[in-house]
Amino acid sequence: MTKPNQPWFVRRPLPAGVAKVHLVGIAGAGMGAFACMLQEAGYTVRGSDQNVYPPMSDVLRARDIAWFEGWAAAHLDWGPDLVVIGNVCRRDNPEAVAAEARGIAAVSFPQAFGDLFLEGRVPVVIAGTHGKTTTTSLTTWLLHGAGARPGMLVGGVHRNFDAAYLLQGGAGDPFVVEGDEYDTAYFDKGPKFLHYRPAICVLNNIEFDHADIYDDLDEIIENFDRLMDLLGPETVLLANLDDPLVMQRAARAGGRVVTYGFGADATLRATDVQPDADGCTFTFHRPGAAPLAVRSPLAGRHNVWNTLAAFGVALECGLDPAQLLAPLATFAGVKKRQEEKGEADGVLVIDDYAHHPTAIRETVAALRARYPGRRLWAVYEPKSNTARRNVHQQDYATAFDAADRVVLARPFVKQDKLAADEKLDVDRLVADIGARGVEATYRADVDDALAYLVEQVRPGDVVVFMSASGFGGIHDRLLAALRARGPA
């Protein structure tokens, strides 16, 4: 449950006539995108951060958005009307302290986004443990391609727009936003999605994640319940019928509930799912309409759920499913989601964000179906705050079952208080994976993993790298090494 004396859903008043905005933590992916949004909307934007490096430094520089290195009270001397406090900031951040001392309004990123961009729009909030980024991106592309004018804010780079946000439309138009369950700011420990006031909400799945801020699954469920409690009589919830925890939460929603999934009772249902080298096909069913044959460029059962949710949002926005088939066929996906980085010496290299065991299992299974007959390598870096812990030790052992070979990199090391008995046991994991008939090995660092792969992979192989980070650029390094290696 929520920890005693922990503040959540904290809203602070915004001044009238905001023109100049300072972002504390501007180089983060979300904050950097928000800086660009603010500038495009006509605000004067500056910010500060530590260790600003590409690609965000390049993005900010190309937009002529200035930033200060490090934190200092003097960085507010340019006179901003509003200071946006990023999640990276601690309570003793000099700029947060200075804003309070000077009487400058200081709010969280989710509140600033909600107040400045969602007013008058139809907020479409995509929530759940998995699939938020893909579903947000897909929903936006389908709406856009069918003639609507959606806005978008997503926690990744939409490859069709080559951006993490989209500013278009106006009052009454949908604005699709990824509803992150991670906490908001040092002064607001509730999830970000509470600030987005959904008119249409998607709840795709619920599992335990973010072990650095949530103690257990019950605490995560409590916060999704709070999201459900925001859904009043005029709202719509699209709920995944195939997830029991989702359906238990859906009972709390005050508005209309539309279910989707594979189950026979789903309002929006997929049947006859057939994976192939180009993605998959399935039949889409909805009440009172003839079945619709759908071809999707997305692979995997999880992406059928994501597509059903996106179709559901489009229906609520007044679109016909037949209008969605053409934009669906041209959806290029999201960077780091089954993203093909290239092929060299007959070896296909793929980059994916999967780090939770369920995401790994679904991703590997999807790639197995998409590339039948090819040897599949799953290379995993446990880097997220949850992955570094042993909370999913047993689940990881079965997550790689569809792979042929598994390479585990050293878990990321952070300066924190994680005790030895709380850490993921990689040696045990290698043994457990091997006991299930999948050859697995552990490599101490990126260089060691790269050298091993260059020696072991052969033409026809598929290598998927899974990490919540850039993984030391190993994708491009492997491709370069394979090109240099030449034909075997």
Structural domains of the chain, ranges and CATH numbers in brackets: 20-109 (3.40.50.720), 118-329 (3.40.1190.10), 339-485 (3.90.190.20)
Between 280 and 213, whose confidence is greater? 280
Cα distances (angstroms) measured from residue 361 to each of 61, 300, 351, 367: 39, 10, 15, 10
Give the 3-state secondary structure of residue 250: helix
pLDDT of 222-240, one tens digit each? 999 999 999 999 999 999 9
pLDDT of 369-415, one tens digit each? 889 999 999 998 887 666 667 667 788 889 899 999 999 887 655 55
With CA atoms as reference, report the closest residue to 322 among 281, 290, 288: 290
Between 375 and 1, whose confidence is greater? 375
Cα distances (angstroms) measured from residue 79 to each of 38, 83, 99, 117, 470: 17, 10, 10, 22, 36
- pLDDT band at 247; cut points 50, 70, 90: very high
Identity of the amino acid at 2? T
Percent of the chain scoring above 70 in pLDDT:
94
- DSSP letter at 167 equals -
Q: Please, what sign has the CA dihedral across residues 220, 221, 227, 229?
A: negative
With CA atoms as reference, report the closest residue to 281 among 412, 181, 370: 370
Give the 3-state secondary structure of residue 248: helix
Strands, E assignment, 147-224 = 151-158, 163-166, 174-178, 183-185, 188-191, 200-203
CB 470 within 8 A of CB 461: no
126, pLDDT greater than 70: yes
- Residues with Cβ within 8 Å of 205's Cβ and at least 6 positions away in sequence, in order, are 128, 129, 130, 131, 240, 243, 245, 246, 305, 358
pLDDT of 69-95, one tens digit each? 999 999 999 999 999 999 889 999 999
* Rounded mean pLDDT, 49-54: 83
pLDDT of residue 201: 98
How far, in Å, CA of 353 to CA of 351, rounded?
7
Percent of the chain scoring above 90 in pLDDT:
67
Cα 291 to chain centroid distance, Å, stands at 31
Average pLDDT value over all residues in the chain: 90
With CA atoms as reference, report the closest residue to 184 among 200, 195, 198: 195
* Rounded mean pLDDT, 245-270: 97
pLDDT of 150-208, one tens digit each? 999 998 788 899 888 999 999 999 999 999 988 899 999 999 999 999 999 999 999 87
pLDDT of residue 416: 61
pLDDT of residue 1: 47
Identity of the amino acid at 408? L
Q: Please, what sign has the CA dihedral across residues 261, 264, 270, 276?
A: positive
Phi, psi of 292 (to 5 degrees): -120, 125
Concatenating the DSSP letter of every residue in 289-348 gives S--EEEEES--SHHHHHHHHHHHHHHHHTT--GGGGHHHHHT---BTTSSEEEEEETTEE
Q: Find the range with the poorest average confidence among 38-47, 204-213, 372-381.
A: 204-213
pLDDT of residue 388: 67
How far, in Å, CA of 443 to CA of 453, rounded?
10
